[in-house]
A and B are shown apart, each in its own frame.
Chain A
Amino acid sequence: MGAPVNPAYRRYHPKWHRDRMPIFWWLRQLSYARFIARELTSVVVAYAAVLLLVELRAISLGPEAFDRFTAWLRSPIPTVLHVFALAALIWHALTWLHLAPRALVVRLGGRRLPDAAVLLGHYAAWIAASALLLWAVLSA
């Protein structure tokens, strides 16, 4: 901290009242709750990455291990879990894409490219990457 502008300023001045932030501050309004829910989907993103690693390991251990892994995936609890995880991942990805125009300011010919153009660019890149992946998998 630099020198305070007001020399009498103290963060914990005895006569000033400071509210304590409640633990459930994120229930104060819908936008905070939505923010926290979105932050929590990051846990699902991490889970998806770990799941991918486990799958790769099963592949490296041979066909039997991979069959055991896919059999586990098909059982009821993982199925329900992964339907939920997929929904959370899609929401995470979509909200991420929709935040992109706020961070990315593109200027073309002295004009700021409209947010919709930046957003469409991101969607196009997403579709292109997915198509490339699909092509690689199908042609293998």
Chain B
Amino acid sequence: MPEAVAIDIRRYRPEEEAEPHWQRYDVPFRREWMVLDALNYIKDEVDGTLAYRWSCRMGVCGSCGMMVNGQPTLTCATYLESLLPGPIRVEPLRGLPVIRDLVGELSDFLAKLKRVKPWIEREEERPTAAGEYLQTPAEVAAYKQYAMCINCLLCYAACPIYELEPEFLGPAAIALAQRYNLDSRDEGHEERMDVLSTHDGIWACTFVGECSTVCPKNVDPAGAIQRYKLEAALDWAKSVVLPWGRQ
């Protein structure tokens, strides 16, 4: 085992430089350290000016996504040991504007997420006194996979379409729309179809499939999008063939 490992970090300090530059840090190697632990070591012991996001350290909050050796990665869930001998290259997530160092700007995603209405839409809310909306285990299983999304945006960083066409809603937003579409308590399917079945929605996706490969929660956004394409196409065909096809 090595005593130290070199980490190359792409720095960007807008008040001092117009373009990002690479900076090397040597950190002690510890078997139990994740990439995030190494970044925390740099921040605490070597260079306090380094900026990056993190919170839970256990793969739940979705804040610490970065490009590690060119791959979108949750730095709290990746052992330094798995990246030996180094140097390890750490960059901000691809496709997002960079505010500073490893911090990407998330507003574009958050606005898109809001557009797909990722909450339970009801035509009429039931009064609280009427009790909760019950679901069978099978009804929960229908959407649970998509509910595991932690909004870490690794899928956006893996998607070349999002980089080429920034208007694209993107993998996580569509997977989360599907999460609610497939929920038996939800009635917002039609409204979401107007946002999703558009050029900037599901039809922008060409099924590269990398979003599902990098997803740390096995959400399979690519699968969600292809399922939705099939559904939207059938919906359209019904409305053309059958005069009563579209309610």
Contact = CB atoms under 8 A, between A and B. Distances in A.
Interface stretch (A43-51, A100-108, A123-131): A100-108
A19 B206 CA distance: 22
Contacts of B111: 1-5, 9
B188 to A, nearest CB: 16
Contacts of A112: 141
Nearest to A7: B107
Nearest to A13: B97
Interface residues of B, number: 37
A72 interface: no
Nearest to B226: A103
A25 B163 CA distance: 10
A26 to B, nearest CB: 7
Task: Assign chain A's interface to a size class.
Answer: 20 to 34
Contacts of A9: 105, 107-108, 111
Contact of A103 (B108, B166, B208, B229): B229
User: Looking at chain A's contact residues, is the secondary structure mostly helix, strand, loop, or mixed?
Assistant: loop
B179 interface: no
B68 to A, nearest CB: 14
A62 interface: no
Contacts of A103: 223, 226-227, 229-230
B157 to A, nearest CB: 11
Contacts of B163: 21, 25
Interface string A1-36: 111111001010101111101000110110110010
Interface of B: 12, 14-15, 19-20, 70, 94, 97-99, 105, 107-108, 110-111, 114-115, 138, 141, 160, 163-164, 166-167, 206-210, 213, 220, 222-223, 226-227, 229-230
